[in-house]
Amino acid sequence: MRVKPIVIALLVMGLTTTALPAAEFDVVIYGGTSAAVTAAVEAKQSGKSVVMVSPDKHLGGLSSGGLGWTDTGNKAVIGGLARDFYHRVWKHYQTPEAWKWQPREEYGGRGQGTPAIDGAQRTMWIFEPHVAESVFEDLIREHEIPVHRDEWLDREKGVKKEGAKITSITTLSGKTYSGQMFIDATYEGDLMAAAGVEYTIGREAKSQYGEQWNGVQTGVLHHKHHFGAVKTPISPYRTPGDPQSGLLPRISAEPPGEYGAADKKIQAYCFRMCLTDDPENRVPFPKPEGYDPAQYELLVRIFNAGWRETFNKFDPIPNHKTDTNNHGPMSTDNIGYNYDYPEASYERRREIIAEHETYQKGWLYFIAHDPRIPKEVQQEMQQWGLAEDEFVDNGHWPHQIYVREARRMVGDFVITENELLNKPPIPDSVGMGSYGMDSHNVQRYVTPDGHVQNEGDIGRSTRGPYQIAYRALVPKRGQCDNLLVPVCVSSSHIAFGSIRMEPVFMILGQSTATAAVMAIDEGLTVQDVSAEKLQKELLKRGQVLELPTE
């Protein structure tokens, strides 16, 4: 870190102001996600000065925010610092102290597509939120990486550029960070957008990239997160069958759009909750401020129709806890209430997040307490509560909402479902993904025959791992020469449905930092970094860029 001389002089005089440049670094990383941490560690290990400018107080994003039931896909593609993270998790759970609420041998170790504990590879893929956060903090502390928390980019005038090069970013507190290279590792892509980089939001039409699973997907019912999973059709009207009575809450009156058409709507958000059924560590579900039981009238009809899958995504993590995700036609996903989040002001985003929290806490409280809930469902829900030893500074509620997608960069290379499915050779591979193309529901609407239905939930296999191009991580030439984007990558909506997994973000965080270091050392723009040289460096670091063909 190089502190500017004028700042040193004013420090001596005691006259510093936050409007002055804070410091100059080789690499400035905006964000506190898992990608931000791996990028910072890679830059520091490569001998560069680096700072994390994080709007978050807690590091790790979703990986430490409740998503402990890792979406791994084929774990053979996870290498480098990402694999080291899961190795460190494994090391933690080798200690007796890690198993406070459950004997280790009782846990069992079931994971998502892979065993939770891989003893041969010394990795563990399922974990508690506080364990993940501790690992991220260890990485930051061991590498002595400065992290400036609760620092929010001034999105209106905080990005300074000379031509196509960012020279500094300034936060709302007035702190300025100068650097040679910048990495936007946020879920929202705020730095990318403020720097004038082209991006998109929502779903492309099927025709735009010749895809099957993009655009409006009316009539397509994947998974079980739709009303086709209910035995009988459900009326959307307050008085069943009577359109004149008005719609029940949380159903859109707008038509869903034509099949295959583009829109600006995005898949639903939720919180990945950490619950427990251990009475000694259980906090009863609170009644949220603003609780309105009328918001869940549709859920009553679903139960009355015989649906009983409430607990199917209470996925077990160690110590009698869960990573609880959305499941079913009306669950924790708050469908249709996040459309303006990607571009919203910070104030408006806080309102959206608060509304999601009220909805989701209300969903829990409603099932646990409303007399119309089937007795067996209610009794089981009353066995659960928030985990007292998780998210202790936030009322035991996750500090990170699941931003499944927001902005997506539009680069010279856009990853589509064709790259994921057909797997053409990618000459500039800097990492791999393998999880299925997974979009959650986008809207809840009224069908032409007068029933309620969800739309947008897609789950399609990629039929094996695929490569991720370096060109998808950098802006178009001339838009920004010293910015890399490992999270809001250049991809179509449905392709991002696979890429958006936490292990992939960690992989791409390391790869972008490696490229940033090369660009500094060779005096290049990020677009001119040699893919061949970059790949050689990544392989030295344990990254997996291809798998042997069968």
Rounded average pLDDT over 402-430: 96
Band of pLDDT at residue 16, cut at 50, 70 and 90:
very low
> What span, in angstroms and rounded, lies between the C-alpha atoms of 231 and 301?
11
| pLDDT of residue 547 exceeding 60 | yes
330 contact partners, CB below 8 Å, separation of at least 6: 250, 296, 298, 299, 302
Measured from the Cβ of residue 76, the count of other Cβ atoms closer than 10 Å reads 15
Within a domain: residue 264? yes
Query: What are the DSSP E strand ranges found in 434-496?
Result: 437-439, 443-446, 452-455, 458-460, 466-469, 483-484
For the chain, the domain total comes to: 1
Band of pLDDT at residue 534, cut at 50, 70 and 90:
very high
Q: What residues make up the domain containing 311?
A: 227-404
**Residue closest to 505 by CA, chosen among 426, 400, 404, 414:** 404
Query: What are 383's two structure tokens?
Result: 């066995």
Beta bridge partners of 282: 387
Confirm if 158 and 170 have CB atoms less than 8 A apart.
yes
Which pairing describes strands 429-433 and 458-460: parallel, antiparallel, or unpaired?
unpaired
Among 105-114, 193-202, 219-228, 414-423, the range scoring the smallest mean pLDDT is 105-114
Residue carrying structure tokens 């979703």: 62
Is residue 453 packed enough to be buried (19+ CB in 10 Å), middle (13-18) or exposed (0-12)? buried
Rounded average pLDDT over 252-264: 98
| pLDDT of residue 302 exceeding 90 | yes
Within a domain: residue 234? yes
Instruction: Count how many residues are written for the chain.
Output: 550
**Residue closest to 365 by CA, chosen among 271, 305, 295:** 295
> What span, in angstroms and rounded, lies between the C-alpha atoms of 91 and 139?
14
Cα dihedral 106, 112, 114, 116 in deg (nearest 10): -30
Rounded average pLDDT over 149-165: 98
Within a domain: residue 308? yes
pLDDT of res. 23: 82
pLDDT of res. 22: 59
Instruction: Give residue-wise pLDDT tens across range 237-249.
Output: 999 999 999 999 9
Instruction: Give residue-wise pLDDT tens across range 372-382.
Output: 999 999 999 99
> What span, in angstroms and rounded, lies between the C-alpha atoms of 352 and 341?
7
The helix-helix angle for 531-540 and 502-522 (nearest 10°) equals 120
pLDDT of res. 7: 39
Within a domain: residue 355? yes
Rounded average pLDDT over 41-69: 98
Query: What are the DSSP E strand ranges found in 83-219?
Result: 117-118, 123-124, 147-149, 159-162, 165-170, 176-184, 199-200
pLDDT of res. 110: 72
Within a domain: residue 116? no
List, as one string, the DSSP characters of 314-352. EEEETTTEEEE---SSSSS--TTS-TTTTT--HHHHHHH
**Residue closest to 453 by CA, chosen among 327, 346, 298, 308:** 298
| pLDDT of residue 157 exceeding 60 | yes
pLDDT of res. 113: 67
pLDDT of res. 118: 82
Band of pLDDT at residue 12, cut at 50, 70 and 90:
very low
Measured from the Cβ of residue 73, the count of other Cβ atoms closer than 10 Å reads 25
Within a domain: residue 341? yes
| pLDDT of residue 9 exceeding 70 | no
The helix-helix angle for 80-92 and 129-142 (nearest 10°) equals 120
Rounded average pLDDT over 404-428: 96
| pLDDT of residue 1 exceeding 90 | no
Within a domain: residue 375? yes
pLDDT of res. 549: 65
pLDDT of res. 108: 79
- Write down the mean pLDDT value for the chain: 94
Instruction: Give residue-wise pLDDT tens across range 499-532.
Output: 999 999 999 999 999 999 999 999 999 999 999 9
Measured from the Cβ of residue 145, the count of other Cβ atoms closer than 10 Å reads 18
Band of pLDDT at residue 115, cut at 50, 70 and 90:
confident
Rounded average pLDDT over 89-111: 91
Q: Is the dihedral of CA 9, 11, 15, 20 positive or negative?
A: positive
Within a domain: residue 354? yes
Band of pLDDT at residue 8, cut at 50, 70 and 90:
very low
pLDDT of res. 116: 80
